[in-house]
């Protein structure tokens, strides 16, 4: 995950003309904590989210693209043979986080297992 200074530099360099007036270290810390907890209320209360919505969208794109990319392969067993049901790419910090996300999605895909693979 990028540091605050790296993220600010990436946003400043983006061609979208992002407004950084309300992009503060406090906002970035709040966003990272909310992402880990899965509770976004604190982010919705920030000035960056409320006043600079377009910049917030660009920030999310840059943030997600800075995280490692993982391929989740969902499968089930059919007569003793593994059968792939679906594949999905996600962005997560660690393999453990990617596996946890995959485990949460098992029922949605009707799968019995999930394989996690880091991709470039």
* pLDDT tens, position by position, 106-115: 999 999 999 9
Is the pLDDT at 59 greater than 90? The verdict is yes
Cα distance from N-terminal residue to C-terminal residue, the chain: 15
- pLDDT of 31 reads 96
Sign, Cα dihedral of 108, 110, 115, 117: negative
Band of pLDDT at residue 1, cut at 50, 70 and 90: confident
Token pair, residue 13, equals 């360099």
Sheet holding 81-91, edge to edge: 81-91, 69-78, 113-119
* Torsion angle in degrees (nearest 10) through CA of 69, 112, 34, 52: 60
Helix (H) or strand (E) holding 24: none
* pLDDT tens, position by position, 12-26: 998 988 999 999 999
Is the pLDDT at 99 greater than 80? The verdict is yes
Distance CA 108, CA 4 (A): 35
Closest CA to 20 of 51, 44, 42: 51
Is the pLDDT at 120 greater than 80? The verdict is no
- pLDDT of 95 reads 94
Backbone φ/ψ region at 45: left (φ over 0), alpha (ψ -120 to 50), beta: alpha
């Amino acid at each position: 995950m990028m540091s605050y200074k790296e993220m600010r530099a990436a946003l400043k360099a983006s061609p979208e003309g992002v407004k950084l007036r309300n992009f503060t270290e406090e906002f970035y810390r709040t966003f990272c904590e909310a992402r880990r907890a899965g509770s976004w209320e604190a982010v919705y209360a920030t000035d960056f989210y409320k006043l600079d919505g377009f910049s917030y969208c660009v920030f999310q794109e840059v943030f997600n693209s800075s995280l490692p990319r993982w391929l989740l392969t969902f499968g089930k067993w059919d007569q003793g043979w593994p059968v792939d049901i679906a594949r999905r790419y996600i962005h997560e910090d660690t393999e453990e986080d990617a596996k946890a996300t995959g485990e949460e999605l098992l029922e949605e895909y009707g799968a019995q297992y999930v394989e996690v693979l880091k991709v470039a």
